[in-house]
Amino acid sequence: MDFPIMIGLIMLVAFLITLFAGFPVAVSMIICGVVGCMFLLRDPMSAFTFLTSGVVSTFTSYSICVAPMFILMGELASETGLGANLFAALQTLVGRTKGGLASAVQVVCAIFGAICGSGSATSAMMCRIAYPEMRKYNYSQKLAAGCIASGSCLATLIPPSVLLITYGIAVEESIGKLFVGGIITGVVLMLLFVITIQIWCKLNPSIASQGERSTMKEKWIAIRKGNFIEIVLIFGFSMGGMFIGWFTPTEAGAVGTAGMLIVSILFKRLKFKMIVDAAAHTLTLCGMMYCLLAASTVFGKFFTLTMIPKALGNLVSDLALPNVVVILIITIIYLILGCFVDALPLMLLTAPIFLPVMQVMGYNPVWFGCYVVVLMGLAAVTPPVGISCYITAGSIEEKIELMTVFKGSIPFIFAFVADALLMAFFPGIATWLPEIMYT
């Protein structure tokens, strides 16, 4: 075995040991990356110079500004109550259908995710506004909590997704292409969630009830009060302008934030405290994200020196394994790691390693980014970590057992798997639209 590869494997094992020993992910990455570079370069000063230059170049990159802009836009949307009015409107439109409120949760998560981009923010919001309504109409705790925990993962896939932004920065892929690729992938997953809810209600009618019938006049009033105009204006001008080439992704985030402020002022729902709270939450999330980016830059540069990604790609070529076998292996690795490591650091750790392997097999980086985010969503509702289930259980005011949330998420696991299989056999789900718009 070559010396660089051996050092890389030793440091990877050391990283996992420090991680499970309780070290923060960023600290584990930096320690293992720095120590590994010292062994490979055999000069501490050269190692520190090599690594610090990588961190500085990352943080002085123009593209990294895209994250705070979209995160701030989402925080403003949450603070001004955009999601609450949207759910109230959909409750009137589809509440009469069996399991209609749970289906409405999926639609709201997808729409709010198109503004927010954060799964945790979407989950917390839906626990406040949707869970009490579902319990009011005698929805079981399992269905009410499970559909929120799973549906909030849509926000991590539908643009502007924080995970797709992170992936694009980590592998230097076009964030605009990733956003476009996430649209159809996210819509397909949302439809699979709705189908899952309808099948569950057919098999066990007692888990949900039908809501009250509403007149056409009431539905029209609900549409007018449901913030649909604001959503179309903000999403259409921000994301639409980026898709047709008016803005770069970073500019689109700034435009969306400005649009959210203007719309909130026009509809008289913005207070100074809301701006302060949104800015504070944005700073907290961005601080965590940037620390992880710095650590992943150090660890990623170390892995580049070990030549492990190239060796993995060559191994796949030499073994001539069928594509489906390689995808299955990578999928299992992500599901196992996703049960113990949060999505953001896992994306930063693994994407630079596995992407060269997928490119050797002929897969598009945009497809791989969307596919990994789907797997991250699946891991987020899978024990023992299941971060989305933890957030949901902690955000619900009614006393609920964590195991109840996990049980409620089990049917949606099949939807995640179905979406992943569809992407594996039909890659065009993620690549067709970007290829059309960027050629």
Count Cβ atoms within 10 A of the Cβ of residue 1 and give its class: 0-12 exposed, 13-18 middle, 19 or more buried. Answer: exposed
State pLDDT tens for residues 145-174. 999 989 888 888 887 787 888 888 778 788
Distance in angstroms (rounded) separating the CA atoms of residues 258 and 252: 10
Among 175, 131, 157, smallest CA distance to 377 is for 157
Q: Which residue has the tokens 């849509």?
A: 154
Between these two residues, 390 and 364, which has the higher pLDDT value? 364
Q: What percent of the chain has pLDDT over 90?
A: 7
CA-CA distance, 431 to 419, in Å (whole number)? Answer: 15
Residue 334 and residue 350 in contact, taking contact as beta carbons nearer than 8 Å: yes
Asked if 417 and 352 touch (Cβ cutoff 8 Å), the reply is no
Alpha helices (runs of H) in 307-363, residue ranges in sequence order: 308-319, 323-338, 343-360
pLDDT at 94: 64
Closest CA to 152 of 390, 424, 346: 390
Average pLDDT of 43-49? 75
pLDDT at position 228 is 66
Could you read off the pLDDT of 215-267 as tens digits, one per residue?
666 666 666 665 666 777 777 777 777 777 787 777 877 888 888 888 778 77
Q: Is the model more confident about 188 or about 93?
A: 188
Question: What pLDDT is attached to residue 129?
Answer: 77
pLDDT band at 212 (very low <50, low <70, confident <90, very high): low
Q: Is the per-residue pLDDT at 214 higher than 70?
A: no
pTM: 0.75
Give which of 280, 262, 258, 282 is closest to 270, Cα–Cα: 262
Residue 90 scores a pLDDT above 80? no
pLDDT at 317 > cutoff 70: no
**Residue 189, pLDDT score:** 93
Residues 140-175: b if buried by 16+ CB within 10 A, e if exposed: bbbbbbbbbbbbbbbbbbbbbbbbbbbbbbbbebbb
Per domain, the residue ranges of the chain are 3-437
* pLDDT of the residue at 36: 84
Least trusted range by pLDDT, from 146-160, 298-312, 370-384: 298-312
Element (H, E) at 306: helix 272-306
| pLDDT for the residue 117 | 66
Neighbours of 425 (CB within 10 A): 10
Residue 191 pLDDT grade (very low, low, confident, very high; cuts 50, 70, 90): very high
> Per-residue pLDDT tens for 355-375?
888 887 788 899 999 998 898
**pLDDT of residue 304 exceeding 80:** no
Q: Note if the bond before 322 is cis, omega within 30 degrees.
A: no
Tokens 């800015």 belong to 279
pLDDT value of residue 83: 61
DSSP of 101-140: HHHHHHHHHHHHHHHH--HHHHHHHHHHHTHHHHHHTT--
- Please state which of the ranges 185-189, 328-332, 364-368 shows the lowest mean pLDDT: 328-332
CA 295 to chain centre: 20
Provide the pLDDT confidence category of residue 415 given band limits of 50, 70 and 90.
very high
Amino acid at 54: G
Residue 412 has pLDDT above 80, yes or no: yes
Sorted by sequence, the CB contacts under 8 Å of residue 116 that are 6+ apart come out as 73, 74, 75, 77, 78, 122, 155
pLDDT at 163: 84
Q: Which residues contact 111 (CB under 8 A, 6 or more apart)?
A: 86, 231
Q: State the pLDDT at residue 53.
A: 72
- How high is the mean pLDDT of the chain? 79
Residue type, 366: V
pLDDT tens-digit readout, 95-130: 567 778 888 888 888 877 777 666 777 777 778 777
Q: Say if CB 278 and CB 79 are below 8 A apart.
A: yes
